[in-house]
Amino acid sequence: MPSSSPLYDAPLTLIDGTETTFADYRGKTVLVVNVASKCGFTPQYAGLEALYDRFKDDGLVVLGLPCNQFMGQEPGESADIEAFCQLNYGVTFPMTEKVDVRGKHQHPLYAQLTKFKSGLLPGLVKWNFEKFLVNSKGEIVDRFASTVEPESAELVGAIEKTLASAAA
Protein backbone atom coordinates (compact mmCIF):
# COMPACT_ATOMS: atom_id res chain seq x y z
CA MET A 1 0.00 0.00 0.00
CA PRO A 2 1.46 3.41 -0.95
CA SER A 3 2.62 5.64 1.86
CA SER A 4 0.53 8.68 2.60
CA SER A 5 3.57 10.72 3.59
CA PRO A 6 2.80 14.45 3.73
CA LEU A 7 6.03 14.99 1.77
CA TYR A 8 4.34 13.49 -1.29
CA ASP A 9 1.77 16.29 -1.35
CA ALA A 10 4.44 18.98 -1.77
CA PRO A 11 4.27 20.67 -5.17
CA LEU A 12 7.49 21.04 -7.13
CA THR A 13 8.34 23.11 -10.15
CA LEU A 14 11.41 21.65 -11.83
CA ILE A 15 14.09 23.99 -13.12
CA ASP A 16 12.75 23.59 -16.68
CA GLY A 17 9.28 24.76 -15.54
CA THR A 18 7.66 21.31 -15.35
CA GLU A 19 5.00 21.18 -12.61
CA THR A 20 5.01 18.03 -10.48
CA THR A 21 4.94 16.89 -6.85
CA PHE A 22 7.33 15.11 -4.51
CA ALA A 23 5.15 12.02 -5.10
CA ASP A 24 7.14 11.52 -8.32
CA TYR A 25 9.88 10.18 -6.04
CA ARG A 26 7.65 7.66 -4.24
CA GLY A 27 9.57 4.40 -3.89
CA LYS A 28 12.95 6.16 -4.18
CA THR A 29 15.48 7.23 -1.57
CA VAL A 30 15.85 10.99 -1.95
CA LEU A 31 18.60 13.30 -0.75
CA VAL A 32 17.03 16.77 -0.65
CA VAL A 33 19.57 19.61 -0.69
CA ASN A 34 19.10 23.39 -0.74
CA VAL A 35 21.80 24.57 -3.13
CA ALA A 36 23.41 27.85 -4.18
CA SER A 37 25.87 28.80 -6.91
CA LYS A 38 27.91 31.42 -5.05
CA CYS A 39 28.48 29.75 -1.68
CA GLY A 40 31.60 28.37 -0.04
CA PHE A 41 29.88 24.98 -0.19
CA THR A 42 29.10 25.24 -3.93
CA PRO A 43 31.86 22.72 -4.80
CA GLN A 44 29.64 20.12 -3.10
CA TYR A 45 27.75 19.99 -6.41
CA ALA A 46 30.55 17.70 -7.64
CA GLY A 47 30.09 15.32 -4.72
CA LEU A 48 26.30 15.38 -5.04
CA GLU A 49 26.60 14.49 -8.72
CA ALA A 50 29.07 11.68 -7.85
CA LEU A 51 26.59 10.31 -5.26
CA TYR A 52 23.77 10.47 -7.78
CA ASP A 53 25.84 8.73 -10.44
CA ARG A 54 27.00 6.04 -7.98
CA PHE A 55 23.60 5.20 -6.47
CA LYS A 56 20.90 6.22 -8.97
CA ASP A 57 20.59 2.67 -10.32
CA ASP A 58 20.01 1.51 -6.71
CA GLY A 59 17.12 3.96 -6.25
CA LEU A 60 18.75 7.21 -5.06
CA VAL A 61 17.60 10.58 -6.31
CA VAL A 62 19.49 13.74 -5.39
CA LEU A 63 17.07 16.66 -5.55
CA GLY A 64 18.57 20.14 -5.59
CA LEU A 65 16.43 23.11 -4.57
CA PRO A 66 18.18 26.42 -5.28
CA CYS A 67 17.68 29.00 -2.54
CA ASN A 68 18.69 32.66 -2.37
CA GLN A 69 17.89 33.22 1.32
CA PHE A 70 21.43 33.03 2.68
CA MET A 71 23.38 36.19 1.82
CA GLY A 72 21.97 36.26 -1.73
CA GLN A 73 24.18 33.36 -2.84
CA GLU A 74 21.78 32.16 -5.55
CA PRO A 75 20.89 35.35 -7.44
CA GLY A 76 20.36 33.85 -10.92
CA GLU A 77 17.24 32.81 -12.76
CA SER A 78 16.47 29.13 -13.42
CA ALA A 79 18.21 29.06 -16.82
CA ASP A 80 21.35 30.66 -15.32
CA ILE A 81 21.40 28.22 -12.40
CA GLU A 82 20.91 25.21 -14.67
CA ALA A 83 23.65 26.35 -17.07
CA PHE A 84 26.07 27.05 -14.20
CA CYS A 85 25.49 23.61 -12.65
CA GLN A 86 25.84 21.72 -15.91
CA LEU A 87 28.87 23.67 -17.16
CA ASN A 88 30.83 23.70 -13.90
CA TYR A 89 29.79 20.45 -12.23
CA GLY A 90 28.12 18.29 -14.90
CA VAL A 91 24.93 18.15 -12.82
CA THR A 92 22.36 15.68 -14.14
CA PHE A 93 20.31 15.17 -10.97
CA PRO A 94 16.89 16.87 -10.84
CA MET A 95 16.66 20.45 -9.66
CA THR A 96 13.74 22.75 -8.99
CA GLU A 97 13.18 26.43 -9.48
CA LYS A 98 14.33 28.66 -6.62
CA VAL A 99 12.49 28.18 -3.34
CA ASP A 100 12.44 29.62 0.16
CA VAL A 101 13.50 27.06 2.75
CA ARG A 102 12.42 29.18 5.70
CA GLY A 103 10.28 32.18 6.58
CA LYS A 104 6.89 33.45 5.50
CA HIS A 105 7.12 31.91 2.00
CA GLN A 106 8.72 28.61 3.06
CA HIS A 107 8.21 25.96 0.41
CA PRO A 108 5.72 23.23 1.51
CA LEU A 109 8.41 20.54 1.16
CA TYR A 110 10.62 22.39 3.63
CA ALA A 111 7.67 22.99 5.96
CA GLN A 112 7.60 19.18 6.34
CA LEU A 113 11.36 18.53 6.21
CA THR A 114 12.17 21.01 8.97
CA LYS A 115 9.88 19.18 11.38
CA PHE A 116 12.64 16.55 11.49
CA LYS A 117 15.17 17.26 14.20
CA SER A 118 18.57 15.63 14.40
CA GLY A 119 21.17 16.43 17.02
CA LEU A 120 22.38 19.96 16.44
CA LEU A 121 19.95 20.51 13.56
CA PRO A 122 16.53 21.25 15.04
CA GLY A 123 13.93 23.13 13.04
CA LEU A 124 15.03 25.76 10.56
CA VAL A 125 17.56 25.22 7.82
CA LYS A 126 20.76 26.97 8.92
CA TRP A 127 22.58 27.47 5.59
CA ASN A 128 22.98 26.33 1.99
CA PHE A 129 23.70 22.66 1.28
CA GLU A 130 21.89 21.26 4.32
CA LYS A 131 20.80 17.72 3.43
CA PHE A 132 17.70 15.68 4.29
CA LEU A 133 17.60 11.94 3.58
CA VAL A 134 14.12 10.59 2.80
CA ASN A 135 13.47 6.87 2.50
CA SER A 136 11.40 5.08 -0.14
CA LYS A 137 8.27 5.42 2.04
CA GLY A 138 8.54 9.20 2.24
CA GLU A 139 9.91 9.19 5.79
CA ILE A 140 12.70 11.55 6.76
CA VAL A 141 15.42 9.33 8.18
CA ASP A 142 18.36 11.69 8.63
CA ARG A 143 19.54 15.26 8.34
CA PHE A 144 23.04 16.54 7.69
CA ALA A 145 24.68 19.92 8.20
CA SER A 146 26.11 21.93 5.33
CA THR A 147 29.61 20.98 6.48
CA VAL A 148 28.96 17.26 5.86
CA GLU A 149 30.52 16.53 2.47
CA PRO A 150 28.38 14.51 0.06
CA GLU A 151 30.96 11.74 -0.25
CA SER A 152 31.71 11.58 3.50
CA ALA A 153 31.57 8.19 5.19
CA GLU A 154 28.73 9.49 7.39
CA LEU A 155 26.47 10.44 4.50
CA VAL A 156 27.38 7.55 2.18
CA GLY A 157 26.79 5.11 5.05
CA ALA A 158 23.35 6.57 5.75
CA ILE A 159 22.43 6.37 2.05
CA GLU A 160 23.63 2.76 1.78
CA LYS A 161 21.68 1.78 4.91
CA THR A 162 18.52 3.49 3.63
CA LEU A 163 18.83 1.90 0.18
CA ALA A 164 19.44 -1.53 1.77
CA SER A 165 16.33 -1.25 3.95
CA ALA A 166 14.28 -0.31 0.87
CA ALA A 167 15.56 -3.40 -0.95
CA ALA A 168 14.85 -5.72 2.01
Catalytic residues: 39
Q: Is 131 left (phi over 0), alpha (psi -120 to 50) or beta?
A: beta
**Dihedral class, residue 129 (left if φ above 0, else alpha if ψ from -120 to 50, else beta):** left
Dihedral pair phi/psi, residue 24, rounded to 5°: -60, -20
- Residues β-bridged to residue 60: 29
CB 159 within 8 A of CB 51: yes
CB-CB neighbours of 103 under 10 Å: 9
Residues β-bridged to residue 32? 63, 132
29-35/60-66 β-pairing: parallel
Gap between the Cα atoms of 66 and 89, Å rounded: 15
**Contact between residue 78 and residue 35 where contact means Cβ atoms under 8 Å apart:** no
